[in-house]
């Protein structure tokens, strides 16, 4: 595929191609090898990487001709704000969706039901990044490094690795500020991240990332307690319907005390290990 061939792809397909190519370079693959794997020129890969380093996620989105700034978004600012408030208000089932946790698919279904607009999972990822709920860089970093063997001296039940179980990486985050500070302050109509606390309150997020790149999240205003964190794991195991190996990669220091008793043992169903700091 030449650079000209790449430009003939649909907007979503071209964005996905750019994301995968840059992610491969970020993971340590040479630009020449990435160019060969994705069928583009090495110069094209270099341009995509340079654009990403300069503009962040905005660089992945193909430019659309003949549209004024802001028109490229499928959802209005009001619709986006409503979606964030709905996600923060509770799990998908609270608004009648057949999902235990929020996923890209669940959000796309909500958009289709409420606004009659069809958006792809890739587009949902764009919005999650724009809102500051899910950072692409964080997703890449979560899976880096070896799987830990457990905390030093860890002897409690539930730490034995479950054979052939799905591996997920877990993080507790607090999305209060723009993902990329280089953007600087912008008008509220242009970017919902401006004044995030004023818009949505003290938002906390529990997020799990699967080996296949699937994202599962639960958000709320205020910190999670042990019961709510336990409920997240219950929903997660229910989502998969089988045993899970969980690697906790990020947890607020001020709530580290919770980890003494969390999670409750579920031998054979749930294994939780920690790779914090």
- Regarding whether 104 and 235 lie in a shared domain, the answer is yes
Q: How far apart (Å, rounded) are the C-alpha atoms in residues 245 and 269?
A: 8
Shared domain check, 190 and 241 = yes
- Name the residue range of residue 203's domain: 77-274
In a domain, 72, yes or no: no
Contact 14, 63 (CB under 8 A): no
Does 221 lie in the same domain as 112?
yes
Three-state secondary structure of the chain = CCHHHHHCCCHHHHHHHHHHHHHHHHCCCCHHHHHHHHCCCHHHHHHHHHHHHHHHHHHHCCCCCCCCCCCCCCCCHHHHHHHHHHHHHCCHHHHCCCCCCECHHHHHHHHHHHHCCCCCHHHHHHHHHHHCCCCHHHHHHHCCCCCCCCCCCCCCCCCCCCCCCEEEEEEEECCCCCCCHHHCCCCCCCCCCCCHHHHHCCEEEEEEEECCCCEEEEEEECCCCHHHHHHHHHHHHHHHCCCEEEEEEECCHHHHHHHHCCCCCECCCEEEEECCC
Q: What are the backbone angles phi and psi of residue 154, rounded to the nearest 5°?
A: -70, 120
Q: Provide the whole-model pTM.
A: 0.66
Q: Is residue 70 part of a domain?
A: no
- So what's the pLDDT on residue 190? 39
The verdict on 160 and 249 lying in the same domain is yes
List the structure tokens of 88: 């923060």
CA 63, distance to chain mean position in Å, is 23
* Residue-level pLDDT, tens digit, the chain, 277 residues: 544 455 556 777 788 888 888 888 888 888 888 888 878 888 888 888 888 887 777 777 766 544 444 445 688 878 888 899 899 999 999 999 999 999 999 999 999 999 999 988 888 988 888 787 887 777 878 877 666 554 433 445 556 788 888 899 999 988 755 444 444 333 333 344 444 555 577 889 999 999 888 999 999 999 999 999 999 999 999 988 888 999 999 999 999 999 888 998 888 889 988 887 6
| Same domain flag for 55 and 103 | no
Note whether 52 and 152 are same-domain residues. Answer: no
Residue 219 lies in a domain: yes
Question: Which of 33, 60, 87 lies at the terminal end of a domain, its last residue?
Answer: 60
- Do 49 and 131 share a domain, yes or no? no
Inside any domain, residue 242? yes
For residues 184 and 248, membership in a common domain is answered with yes
What are the two backbone dihedrals, phi and then psi, of residue 10, each rounded to the nearest 5 degrees? -65, 165
- The reported pLDDT for the residue numbered 26 is 81
Residues 45 and 87 in one domain: no
Domain-embedded: residue 238: yes
Q: Are residues 140 and 255 in the same domain?
A: yes
Are residue 82 and residue 157 in the same domain, yes or no?
A: yes
Residue 157 lies in a domain: yes
Asked whether residue 16 is domain-assigned, the answer is yes
Looking at the fold, whether 135 and 231 belong to one and the same domain comes out as: yes
Domain total in the chain: 2
**81, part of any domain:** yes
């Amino acid at each position: 595929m030449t650079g000209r061939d790449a430009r003939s792809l649909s907007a979503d397909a071209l964005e996905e191609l750019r994301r995968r190519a840059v992610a491969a370079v970020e993971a340590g693959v040479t630009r020449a090898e990435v160019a060969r794997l994705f069928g583009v020129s090495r110069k094209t890969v270099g341009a995509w990487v340079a654009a990403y380093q300069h503009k962040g996620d905005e660089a992945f989105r193909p430019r659309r001709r003949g549209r004024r700034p802001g028109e490229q978004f499928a959802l209005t600012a009001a619709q986006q704000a409503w979606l964030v408030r709905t996600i923060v208000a509770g799990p998908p089932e609270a608004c009648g969706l057949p999902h235990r946790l929020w996923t890209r698919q669940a959000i796309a279904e909500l958009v289709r039901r409420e606004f009659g607009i069809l958006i792809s999972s890739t587009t949902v990822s764009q919005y999650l990044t724009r809102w500051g709920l899910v950072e692409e860089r964080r997703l890449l970093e979560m899976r880096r490094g070896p799987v830990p063997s457990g905390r030093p001296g860890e002897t409690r039940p539930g730490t034995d690795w479950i054979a052939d179980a799905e591996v997920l990486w877990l993080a507790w985050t607090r999305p209060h500020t723009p993902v990329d500070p280089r953007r600087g302050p912008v008008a509220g109509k242009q970017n919902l991240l401006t004044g995030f606390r004023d818009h949505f309150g003290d938002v906390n997020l529990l997020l799990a990332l699967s080996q296949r790149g699937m994202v599962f999240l639960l958000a709320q205003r205020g910190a999670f307690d042990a019961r709510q964190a336990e409920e997240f794991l219950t929903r997660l195991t229910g989502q998969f319907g089988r045993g899970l190996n969980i690697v906790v990669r990020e947890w607020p220091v001020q709530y580290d005390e919770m980890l003494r008793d969390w999670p409750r043992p579920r031998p054979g169903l749930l294994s939780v290990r920690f790779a914090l700091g």
